[in-house]
Amino acid sequence: MIRPDNVLVWATFLPVIGSAVILALMVVRHFLGLKKRFLDQASRVVTMVASFLMLVASILAWHWFDPRAQGLLVQGKATGVQMVSRAIWIRPFNVEWFVGVDGLSISMVLLTGIISFVAAIASMPWWQGGAKAIHMAGMDEDDHGHGDDEHHPKHFTVRMVPGYMILLLLLMTGMMGTFVALDMFLFYVFWEVMLLPMYFLIGVWGGPRREYAAIKFFLYTLAGSVLMLLAIIAVYYRSLPAVMADGTLSARHTFNLLELAAQGRAGQFATALPILGVAFSKIVFVAFFIGFAIKIPMFPFHTWLPDAHVEAPTPISVILAGILLKMGPYGILRFNYPLLPDATEWAANAIAVFGVINIIYAAYVALAQRDFKKMVAYSSVSHMGFTLLGMAAMTPMAISGAVYNMFTHGIISPALFLIVGVIYDRAHHRDMERFGGLAKELPEYSGLTGLAFFASLGLPGLAGFIPEFMVLAGSFPVYLTFTVISATAVIITAAYYLWAMQRVFLGKLNSAYAGFPDVNWRERIMLYPLAAIMIFLGFYPQFILHAINPALQLLIQNLRPV
Amino acid sequence: MDIQPFLVAENVRSTGWFRPELVLTFGALSLFLLDLAWRRSESRARLLSAATLTVFGLAAILLSLQPGTPQSLFNGMIANDAFANFFKWIFLAGGALTVLIAGPSRAYPPSRIGPFYALLVTIVLGLFLMASATDLLMIYMAIELVSMVSYALAGYSKGDRKAAEAALKYVIFGGVASGAMIFGMSYLYGMLGTTDITRFAAAIAQVPTTLPHRLGLILGVVLVSSGVGYKIAAVPWHMWAPDVYEGAPTPFTAFLSTGPKAAGFALAARLLWGALDTRGSMMGLSEAVGNIPWPAVVGVLSAVTMTLGNFTALPQTNLKRLLAYSSIAHAGYGLMGLAANSFVGTQAVMVYMLAYLIMNLGAFLAVIVVERFTGSPSIFEFRGLGHRAPLAAVSMAIFLFALTGLPPSIGFTGKYWLFVAVLDRVSGPTGGWYATLAIIAALNTAVALYYYARILRAMFFEAPLSEVEVTYPTSYKWLLAGFAAATVLFGIWVTPIMDWTRLSLGQFYRG
Amino acid sequence: MIPTLSHYLAVAAILFALGLFTVLTRRNAVAVLMGVELMLNAANVNLVAFNKFMVGGLAGQTFALFVIVLAAAEAAVGLAIVLSIFHTFKTIDVRAADLMRE
Amino acid sequence: MNHATQHLGPTVVHAAGYLWLIPLFPAVGAIINSLLGTRIQRNLGKRWNHAIAIGMMTLSFLTALRAFAQMVALPGDERFLQNTLWNMLTAGQMQFDLAFALDPLSMMMVLIITFIGTLIHVFSVGYMADEPSYWRFFAYLNLFVFAMLLLVMGDNFAVMFFGWEGVGLASYLLISFWYTDIEKAQAGMKAFVVNRFGDFGFILGLFLLFWSLGGIWEPRADARSVTYVPEIGYKADPAAQNPFESTGPRAVVVDGHAVKVGPTLNFRELRDQVVIEATGVGEHLRHQKLWGVALLTLVGMLMFVGAMGKSAQLPLYVWLPDAMAGPTPVSALIHAATMVTAGVYMVARLSYIYAMSPTAMGWVATIGVLTAFFAATIGFFQYDIKKVLAYSTVSQLGIMFIGVGVGAYWAGTYHLLTHAFFKATLFLGSGSVILGCHHEQDMRKMGGLKKLMPVTAWTYLVATWAIAGFPWASGFFSKDEILWKAFTQRGMELFGVPAPWLGPAIFVIGILAATGTSFYMFRSYYMTFTGHYRGGAGHDEEHGEDPHSAHAAPHHAPAAAHAPAAAHGHDDHAAHGHAAPAAAHGVHAAPAHATHAAPAHDDHGHHGGPPHESPRSITWVLATLAFGAVAVSFLGIPLLWTGHAPILEHWLAPALPAEVTFLHFGHATEWLFQGMGVAAATIGWFFAMKLFKDGQSRVPHDLKHRFFGFWTVVYNKYYVDEAYHALVIRPSLFLAAFLSWFDQHVIDWLVNFAGWLARVFAAIDDAIDKYVVDGAVNGVGGLTREGGRVLRRIETGRIQTYLYGAAFGSLLVVLLNFLFR
**Phi (first) and psi of residue B424, to 5 degrees:** -60, -30
The mean pLDDT value for A298-318 works out to: 88
Number of neighbours of residue B54 by Cβ within 10 angstroms: 14
CB pair distance less than 8 Å for D800 and C25: yes
Q: Any idea which of A71-75, B25-29, D586-590 has the lowest mean pLDDT?
A: D586-590
Give A17: exposed, middle or buried? Use CB within 10 Å, 0-12, 13-18, 19+.
Answer: middle
DSSP letter (8 states) at residue A322: I
Among B194, B163, B87, B151, which residue's Cα sits nearest to residue B501?
A: B87
Pairing of strands D14-15, D293-294: unpaired
Q: Strand, coil or helix: what is D93?
A: coil
Q: Any idea which of A163-167, A232-236, D480-484, D661-665 has the lowest mean pLDDT?
A: D661-665
Show the DSSP H helices in D612-693 as ranges.
616-631, 639-642, 647-652, 667-692
Predicted confidence at residue D791, as pLDDT, reads 32
Kindly list the residues from chain C whose CB atom is less than 8 angstroms away from the CB atom of residue B1.
57-58
Number of neighbours of residue B281 by Cβ within 10 angstroms: 8
Count CA atoms within 13 Å of residue A494 on its CB side: 26
CB pair distance less than 8 Å for D810 and B240: no
Any CB–CB contact under 8 A between C20 and chain B? yes
CB pair distance less than 8 Å for B291 and D821: yes
Burial profile D219-229: b = 16 or more Cβ within 10 angstroms, e = fewer = ebeeeebbebe
Among D230, D211, D246, which residue's Cα sits nearest to residue A557?
A: D246
ipTM of the complex as predicted:
0.81
Q: How far apart are CA B391 and CA B248, in angstroms?
A: 26
Sign of CA dihedral A450, A456, A457, A458: positive
Q: How far apart are CA D377 and CA D367, in angstroms?
A: 15
**Residue D584 pLDDT > 70, yes or no?**
no
- Chains within contact range of chain D (3+ C-beta pairs < 8 Å): A, B, C
- Measured between CB atoms, which of B218, B230, B300 is closest to D814? B218
Among B330, B338, B320, B335, which residue's Cα sits nearest to residue B357?
A: B330
Read off the pTM.
0.84
Predicted confidence at residue D636, as pLDDT, reads 80
**Phi (first) and psi of residue B260, to 5 degrees:** -55, -35
Q: Strand, coil or helix: what is D498?
A: strand
Going by C-beta distance under 8 Å and a sequence separation of 6 or more, which residues neighbour residue D685?
D468, D518, D519, D522
The mean pLDDT value for D346-369 works out to: 90
User: Does residue B134 lie in a domain region?
Assistant: no
Helix (H) or strand (E) holding D753: helix D748-767
- Measured between CB atoms, which of A393, A461, A502 is closest to D185? A502
Predicted confidence at residue D616, as pLDDT, reads 82
Predicted confidence at residue D153, as pLDDT, reads 92
pLDDT band of A561, cuts 50, 70, 90: low
Structural domain for B358, as ranges = 293-511
Share of chain B above pLDDT 70, in %: 97
Predicted confidence at residue A472, as pLDDT, reads 92
Predicted confidence at residue B27, as pLDDT, reads 94
Q: How far apart are CA B64 and CA B78, in angstroms?
A: 18
Model confidence pLDDT, tens digit, residues D169-184: 999 999 888 888 888 8
pLDDT band of D609, cuts 50, 70, 90: low
Going by C-beta distance under 8 Å and a sequence separation of 6 or more, which residues neighbour residue D240?
D93, D214, D216, D247, D250, D262
Any CB–CB contact under 8 A between D752 and chain B? no
Predicted confidence at residue D599, as pLDDT, reads 37
Chains D vs C: touching, with 3+ CB pairs under 8 Å?
yes
Beta bridge partners of D154: D100
Predicted confidence at residue D242, as pLDDT, reads 39
Q: How far apart are CA B131 and CA B83, in angstroms?
A: 8
The residue of chain C nearest to residue D766, with distances taken between CA atoms, is C102
Model confidence pLDDT, tens digit, residues D410-439: 889 999 999 988 888 998 888 888 888 777
Output the average pLDDT for chain B: 89
Model confidence pLDDT, tens digit, residues D124-137: 888 888 888 888 89
* Domains defined along chain C, listed by start: 5-89 (1.10.287.3510)
- Measured between CB atoms, which of C20, C95, C102 is closest to D797? C95
Predicted confidence at residue D772, as pLDDT, reads 52
Among B139, B87, B83, B127, which residue's Cα sits nearest to residue B508?
A: B83
Helices A36-64, A7-32: inter-axial angle, 10-degree rounding: 170
Give D497: exposed, middle or buried? Use CB within 10 Å, 0-12, 13-18, 19+.
Answer: exposed
Q: How far apart are CA B433 and CA B444, in angstroms?
A: 16
- Measured between CB atoms, which of C23, C25, C98 is closest to D798? C98
Q: How far apart are CA B297 and CA B229, in angstroms?
A: 13
Model confidence pLDDT, tens digit, residues D442-457: 777 777 787 888 888 8
CB B193 within 8 A of CB C51: no
CB C49 within 8 A of CB C8: yes
First-last CA distance in chain A: 43
How far apart are the CA of D700 and the nearest CA of chain A, in angstroms?
38
Looking at residue D530, its amino acid is T
The mean pLDDT value for B134-157 works out to: 92
CB A119 within 8 A of CB A319: yes
Going by C-beta distance under 8 Å and a sequence separation of 6 or more, which residues neighbour residue A135?
none
- Chains within contact range of chain B (3+ C-beta pairs < 8 Å): A, C, D
DSSP codes joined into one string, A467-513:
HHHHHHHHHTTTSHHHHHHHHTHHHHHHHHHHHHHHHHHSSS--GGG
Predicted confidence at residue D236, as pLDDT, reads 39
Q: Any idea which of A178-182, A218-222, C98-102, D601-605 has the lowest mean pLDDT?
A: D601-605
CB pair distance less than 8 Å for B189 and C50: yes
Query: Is the backbone of residue A83 left (phi > 0), alpha (psi -120 to 50) or beta?
Result: left
Among D412, D426, D394, D417, which residue's Cα sits nearest to residue D479?
A: D412
Q: How far apart are CA A373 and CA D357, in angstroms?
A: 48
Model confidence pLDDT, tens digit, residues A454-477: 999 989 989 999 999 999 988 888
**Phi (first) and psi of residue A419, to 5 degrees:** -60, -45
Residues 45-84 of C with CB under 8 A from B: 46-47, 49-51, 54-55, 57-60, 62-63, 66-67, 70, 73-74, 77-78, 80-82, 84
CB pair distance less than 8 Å for B416 and A215: no
Helix (H) or strand (E) holding B384: none
Q: How far apart are CA B335 and CA B346, in angstroms?
A: 9
Predicted confidence at residue D493, as pLDDT, reads 85
Predicted confidence at residue D763, as pLDDT, reads 63
Give B154: exposed, middle or buried? Use CB within 10 Å, 0-12, 13-18, 19+.
Answer: buried
How far apart are the CA of A41 and the nearest CA of chain D, in angstroms?
34
Give A511: exposed, middle or buried? Use CB within 10 Å, 0-12, 13-18, 19+.
Answer: exposed
Kindly list the residues from chain D whose CB atom is less than 8 angstroms away from the CB atom of residue A479.
225
Beta bridge partners of A73: A78
Residues 789-808 of D with CB under 8 A from B: 798-799, 801-803, 805-806, 808
Pairing of strands D14-15, D81-91: parallel
Predicted confidence at residue B424, as pLDDT, reads 81
Residues 260-319 of B with CB under 8 A from D: 291-294, 296-297, 300-301, 308, 311-315
Kindly list the residues from chain B whose CB atom is less than 8 angstroms away from the CB atom of residue C88.
159-161, 164
Predicted confidence at residue B184, as pLDDT, reads 93
Share of chain A above pLDDT 90, in %: 40
The residue of chain B nearest to residue D799, with distances taken between CA atoms, is B169
**Rounded to 5 degrees, what angle do the CA atoms D386, D390, D391 make?**
125
Model confidence pLDDT, tens digit, residues A142-195: 444 444 444 455 777 777 888 899 999 999 999 999 999 999 999 999 998 888
Model confidence pLDDT, tens digit, residues D29-75: 999 988 888 888 888 888 888 888 999 999 999 999 999 999 988 88
CB pair distance less than 8 Å for D809 and B240: no
Higher pLDDT pick, B24 / D330: B24
How far apart are the CA of D197 and the nearest CA of chain A, in angstroms?
6
**Residue D545 pLDDT > 50, yes or no?**
no
Among B325, B306, B307, B327, which residue's Cα sits nearest to residue B317?
A: B325
pLDDT band of B3, cuts 50, 70, 90: low
Q: How far apart are CA A358 and CA A379, in angstroms?
A: 10
Output the average pLDDT for chain D: 77
User: Does residue B202 lie in a domain region?
Assistant: no
Domain count, chain B: 1
Among B410, B479, B363, B440, which residue's Cα sits nearest to residue B96?
A: B479
Model confidence pLDDT, tens digit, residues D459-503: 888 888 888 888 877 888 888 888 888 888 888 888 878 888 888
Looking at residue B473, its amino acid is P
Predicted confidence at residue D326, as pLDDT, reads 84
CB pair distance less than 8 Å for A365 and D743: yes
Length in residues, chain A: 562
Number of neighbours of residue A152 by Cβ within 10 angstroms: 10
Any CB–CB contact under 8 A between D759 and chain B? yes
CB pair distance less than 8 Å for B172 and C33: yes
The widest CA-to-CA distance across chain B, in whole angstroms, is 75
Please compute Rg for chain D using Cα positions: 34
CB D557 within 8 A of CB D193: yes
Among D115, D709, D658, which residue's Cα sits nearest to residue D409?
A: D658
How far apart are the CA of B184 and the nearest CA of chain C, in angstroms?
8
Predicted confidence at residue D3, as pLDDT, reads 42
Output the average pLDDT for chain A: 86
Beta strands in D177-279 (DSSP E): 250-254, 257-261
CB D651 within 8 A of CB D68: no
CB D250 within 8 A of CB D264: no
**Residue A23 pLDDT > 50, yes or no?**
yes
The mean pLDDT value for B334-347 works out to: 91
Q: Which of A358, A542, A546, A562 to mutate to test the interface with D (most CBs of D within 10 A)?
A: A542
**Rounded to 5 degrees, what angle do the CA atoms A234, A236, A238 make?**
75
Predicted confidence at residue D785, as pLDDT, reads 40
Q: Which of D795, D801, D802, D808 to mutate to test the interface with C (most CBs of C within 10 A)?
A: D795
Q: Strand, coil or helix: what is A275?
A: strand
Model confidence pLDDT, tens digit, residues A411-467: 999 999 999 988 888 888 888 888 888 888 888 899 999 999 999 998 998 999 999
Give C31: exposed, middle or buried? Use CB within 10 Å, 0-12, 13-18, 19+.
Answer: middle
DSSP letter (8 states) at residue A243: B
Burial profile B458-474: b = 16 or more Cβ within 10 angstroms, e = fewer = bbbbbebeeeeebebee
Beta bridge partners of D257: D254
Count residue pairs from C and D with Cβ separation < 8 A: 35
Residuewise pLDDT in 10s, chain C (102 residues): 788 888 999 999 999 999 999 998 888 889 999 999 999 999 999 999 998 888 888 888 989 999 999 999 999 999 999 998 888 888 888 877 777 665
